[in-house]
Structure 1
Amino acid sequence: MAWIYLLIASLGEIFGVASINMYLKRGTWRWLAIVVGVFSLGFYFLALAMREIPLGTAYAIWTGLGATGAVVMGVCFFKEPMSRLRLLFLACIICGAVGLKAVAP
């Protein structure tokens, strides 16, 4: 169950970053409340995951999936550019997260 919590926490990171972008574009209190709420849920699920997953592994996977998801969200919804080098480095992040999962106790 801890790995599911970590996945949910990563989704909180992804949508939290996207919410920051929306807040910066719109500047409303509603978007600020969404930023705080989404990140709070993400941190909560990260804390639940860390009850069973070691800190270093949980944090590295959380940030790696969050960063990858944020880049994908930026490309798909915010018209950020995608290049071969960006894809290569995203693949490195994903390989690192999969490797940490593979060797986690």
Structure 2
Amino acid sequence: MNWILLFLAGLFEVVFAFCLGKAKDSIGNWVYYWYLGFFISLCISMGLLIKVTKTLPIGTSYAVWTGIGAVGSIIVGIVFFKEPMEFWRLFFLFTLVASIIGLKFLSN
């Protein structure tokens, strides 16, 4: 169950990165709505991370959380913000995913 919560925490990290990107491109009152979404998803992500670190190792939890956020943010950047999809970027994204999976299997 804690691994599922950790995965959700990582997804909410992706959501707050997405909200930051949308706020940057918005005008008028929409900027404040995106910042509100950022703040809410940040609180949920941190709250879930705090919860899972009570039973999972802090180093593993934090590494997996940031890894999910990094991978998700890169994918969101490519899909929604038209960031470049280059070979080396995808190569290192793959190695990051492999490292996250490795940490999961090495964790008790």
Same topology, TM > 0.5: yes
| 1:13 match | 13
Task: Map Cα deviations across residues 15-74 of structure 1 (whole Å, 9 max, x no partner).
Answer: 110101111111521111111001110111111111111000000000011100000011
CA distance in 1, matches of 2:100, 2:55: 17
| 2:46 match | 43
**Percent of pairs identical after alignment?**
32
How many pairs align?
Answer: 105
User: What's the C-alpha RMSD, in Å, of the aligned pairs?
Assistant: 0.9
| 2:106 match | 103
The ranges of structure 1 where at least 4 consecutive aligned residues each deviate by more than 2 angstroms after the TM superposition are none
Q: Which runs of 5+ in 2 are unaligned?
A: none
| 2:22 match | 22
Residues 75 and 82, structure 1, Cα contact 8 Å, conserved in 2: yes
Q: After TM superposition, give the deviation of residue 6 of structure 1 in Å.
A: 0.2
Q: Which runs of 5+ in 1 are unaligned?
A: none
Residues 2 and 51, structure 1, Cα contact 8 Å, conserved in 2: no
CA distance in 1, matches of 2:68, 2:11: 8
TM-score of the superposed pair, with normalisation by structure 1: 0.96
| 2:76 match | 73
TM-score of the superposed pair, with normalisation by structure 2: 0.93
